[in-house]
């Protein structure tokens, strides 16, 4: 196998094909889960589905219903479910050796080199990679520690609407107050600045950027700015959970300049937006701005293995041996899978594909927006797309998005939600989604929008 089959050979051929859902086996699994699993389980509350099988951009549930997957395990399965090129290496490695802490393996060194090959200009050839634990939150913790260790500071600037994870440091820089409210105090010196969101802030793109940067500058430079010992700025180049908020031009460069002027690190969280999702390797590549450190996870594990990494400029490589630790410093099978996934994206030119298909999806959504005033904004890059819905008064409407998600599910398409009020329909399909599958899926999504917005109008 060179780099596996072409993308049109990866999927279940019958997708979408759903009967009345959820079917009996699914219902029984959901009931059992409710009985024995944690109350913290969340996703089945949105879509009552139990997965059995996946292929490419399609999945099958326990009753044999087949769906087109437009959420990819929240941006994990960039090269699709059970990609054969990735799985070949997974099986080979799993039979040989799985866990090596941080002893060298070919798999480890190969992935570090691969990550350097696709690193943003400015990090490429000058970077180190630390694998400090399996989740995205672990990578965030590493980037916070790295910032503190290298600057001697302890304060962090993050952004409203941000999501960075569920561990203490990652929650500290996350914006969602309800999510972290029971666990305060968290890290003490964290300040959240506004993220430029022209649509919600009712500003021009330039004014939204100027406003956000002026706030960050004041926090760093105003003698009464409030943050005594800043160490770093941490930002999603496109906010994911916050609603696929895509900052206008100039924001990331402005942060780069402020970080340089004030000797603090600039950390880009590319956990959801990276590894080809936006039609570039990293969302920040669109702005041509390099961070001092960058976090990656989700799609890094190739086909769903838990693996995260923090890539950082070699000037920050000041830790001594063992200064950042963890038992799982890189899952060897996940590393093989990650390298294979990157190769698959390269060999099948999936960055260009993501850009083209993303434009097609945005066009279809814009056509749908012509017929309703409830679809207020469509934004994003590549296959990282958000559609923001509002009620008759222009306020965020999460109910209509829930209705769209449910209608899509019942018609064989899985989409997810995002946004501070759950009012953004979020598309993050596997990059291997074909044009044909996208067309079929968008027919369903457009019907769902029509159905849900009409229903909302009637009940208003
Ligand atoms: C941008 C971003 N950062 C960090 C995280 C946390 O990653 P994990 O859930 O693997 O800890 C997420 C998860 O959704 C994310 O979207």
How close is the Cα of 19 to the center of ligand 1, in Å? 33
CATH of domain 85-348: 3.40.640.10
pLDDT at 132: 87
Taking a C-beta distance cutoff of 8 angstroms, is the pair 355, 405 a contact? no
Q: Order of strands across the sheet with 51-55?
A: 51-55, 58-61, 66-69, 413-414
Pocket test for ligand 1, best of 163, 234, 328, 424 (most atoms within 8 A of CB): 163
Per-residue pLDDT averaged across 290-301, rounded?
98
Q: Which ligand 1 atom sits nearest the alpha carbon of residue 165?
A: 6
156 neighbors 230 (Cβ within 8 angstroms):
yes
Q: Report the pLDDT averaged over residues 421-436.
A: 98
- Above 80 in pLDDT, residue 51? yes
CA-236 nearest atom, ligand 1: 1
Q: Which of 138, 161, 165, 291 to mutate to test the pocket of ligand 1 (most atoms within 8 A of CB)?
A: 165
Does the Cβ of 310 fall within 6 Å of ligand 1? Answer: no
d(CA 60, CA 55): 8
The CB of 272 under 6 Å from ligand 1? The reply is yes
Question: Residue 457: its pLDDT value, please?
Answer: 87
Tokens, residue 50: 């139990």
* Residue 1, pLDDT above cutoff 60: no
pLDDT over threshold 70, residue 341 = yes
CA dihedral for 448, 454, 455, 460, sign (positive or negative):
positive
pLDDT digits (tens, 9 = 90+) for 369-416: 999 999 999 999 999 999 999 999 999 999 999 999 999 999 999 999
**Taking Cα atoms as reference points, which of 450, 274, 439, 427 lies closest to residue 360?**
439
**Is the minimum distance from the CB of 163 to ligand 1 under 6 angstroms?**
yes
Give the model's pLDDT for residue 45.
95
Instruction: Tell the residue number behind the tokens 């083209």, with chain if given.
Output: 356
Q: Are 281 and 255 in contact (CB under 8 A)?
A: no
Q: Is the pLDDT of residue 419 over 80?
A: yes
Q: Select the CATH number that applies to the domain covering 7-76+349-459 from these four: 3.90.1150.10, 2.40.50.140, 3.30.70.1560, 3.40.50.300.
A: 3.90.1150.10
Average the pLDDT over 271-285 and give the result: 98
Interval between CA 240 and ligand 1 midpoint (Å)? 9
pLDDT beyond 90 at 114: yes
Report whether residue 158 contacts ligand 1, using a CB cutoff of 6 Å.
no
Return the domain boundaries, the chain: 7-76+349-459, 85-348
Residue 191 pLDDT more than 80?
yes
CB contact set of 385 (below 8 Å; sequence gap of 6+): 244, 358, 361, 362, 365, 378, 379, 426, 427, 428
> How do residues 11-36 score in pLDDT, each as one tens digit?
999 999 999 999 999 999 999 999 99
Reply yes or no on whether the pLDDT at 85 is more than 60: yes
* 297 CB near ligand 1 (under 6 Å): yes
Report residue 238's pLDDT band, with 50, 70 and 90 as the boundaries.
very high
Full-prediction pTM beyond 0.95? yes
3-state secondary structure of 127: strand
Reported as a pLDDT band with limits 50, 70 and 90, residue 460 is confident
User: Ligand 1 centre from 454 Cα, in Å?
Assistant: 34
Q: Which pLDDT band holds residue 2 (cuts at 50, 70, 90)?
A: confident
Q: If pLDDT is split at 50, 70 and 90, which confidence band does 180 have?
A: very high
Q: Which helix (H) or strand (E) holds 346?
A: helix 332-347
pLDDT of residue 267: 99
CB 165 less than 6 A from any atom of ligand 1: yes
Span 57-67, mean pLDDT?
98
Question: Residue whose CA is closest, atom 7 of ligand 1?
Answer: 136
Spatial contact of 229 and 153, defined as CB atoms under 8 Å apart: yes
Tell me the pLDDT tens digit for each residue of 248-264.
999 999 999 999 999 99
Confidence of residue 459 (pLDDT cuts 50, 70, 90): confident
The answer to whether 312 and 294 have CB atoms below 8 angstroms apart is: yes
What pLDDT does 31 receive?
A: 98
Ligand 1 pocket check for 141: Cβ under 6 Å = no
Question: Tens digit of pLDDT for each residue in 122-165?
Answer: 999 999 999 989 999 999 999 999 999 999 999 999 999 999 99
Query: Considering the chain, what is the average pLDDT of its residues?
Result: 97
């Amino acid at each position: 196998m060179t780099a596996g089959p072409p993308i049109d050979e990866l999927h279940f051929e019958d997708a979408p094909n759903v009967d009345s859902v959820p079917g009996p086996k699914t219902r029984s699994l959901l009931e059992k889960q409710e009985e024995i699993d944690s109350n913290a389980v969340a996703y089945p509350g949105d879509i009552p589905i139990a997965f059995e099988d996946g292929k490419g951009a399609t999945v099958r549930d326990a009753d044999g219903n087949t769906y087109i997957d437009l959420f990819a395990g929240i941006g994990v399965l960039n090269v699709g479910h059970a990609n054969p090129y990735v799985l070949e290496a997974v099986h080979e490695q799993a039979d040989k050796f799985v866990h090596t802490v941080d002893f060298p393996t070919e798999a480890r060194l190969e992935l570090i080199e691969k990550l350097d090959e696709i690193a943003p200009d400015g990090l490429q050839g000058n970077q180190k990679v630390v694998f400090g634990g399996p989740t995205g939150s672990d990578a965030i913790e590493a980037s916070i520690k790295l910032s503190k260790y290298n600057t001697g500071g302890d304060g962090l600037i993050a952004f409203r609407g941000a999501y960075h994870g569920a561990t203490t440091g990652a929650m500290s820089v996350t914006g969602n107050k309800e999510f972290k409210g029971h666990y305060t105090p968290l890290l003490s010196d964290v300040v959240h600045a506004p993220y430029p969101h022209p649509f919600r802030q009712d500003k021009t793109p330039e004014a939204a950027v100027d406003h956000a940067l002026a706030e960050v500058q004041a926090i760093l430079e105003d003698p009464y700015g409030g943050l005594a010992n800043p160490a770093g700025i941490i930002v999603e180049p496109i906010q994911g959970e916050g609603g696929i908020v895509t900052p206008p031009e100039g924001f990331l460069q402005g942060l780069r300049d402020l970080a340089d002027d004030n000797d603090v690190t600039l950390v880009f969280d590319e956990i959801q937006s990276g590894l080809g999702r936006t039609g570039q390797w990293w969302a920040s590549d669109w702005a041509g701005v390099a961070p001092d450190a960058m976090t990656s996870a989700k799609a890094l594990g190739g086909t769903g293995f838990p693996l995260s990494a923090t890539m950082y400029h070699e000037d920050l490589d000041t830790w001594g041996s063992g200064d950042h630790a963890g038992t799982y410093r890189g899952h060897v099978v996940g590393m093989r899978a990650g390298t294979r996934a990157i190769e698959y994206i390269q060999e099948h030119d999936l960055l260009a594909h993501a850009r083209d298909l993303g434009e097609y999806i945005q066009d279809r959504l814009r056509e749908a927006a012509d017929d309703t005033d409830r679809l207020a904004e469509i934004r994003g890059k590549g296959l990282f797309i958000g559609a923001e819905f509002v009620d008759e008064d222009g306020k965020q409407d999460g109910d209509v998005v829930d209705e769209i998600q449910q209608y899509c599910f019942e018609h064989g398409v899985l989409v997810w939600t995002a946004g501070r009020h759950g009012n953004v329909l979020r598309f993050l399909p596997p990059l291997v989604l074909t044009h044909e599958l996208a067309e079929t899926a968008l027919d369903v999504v457009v019907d769902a929008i029509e159905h849900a917005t009409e229903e909302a109008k009637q009940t208003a």
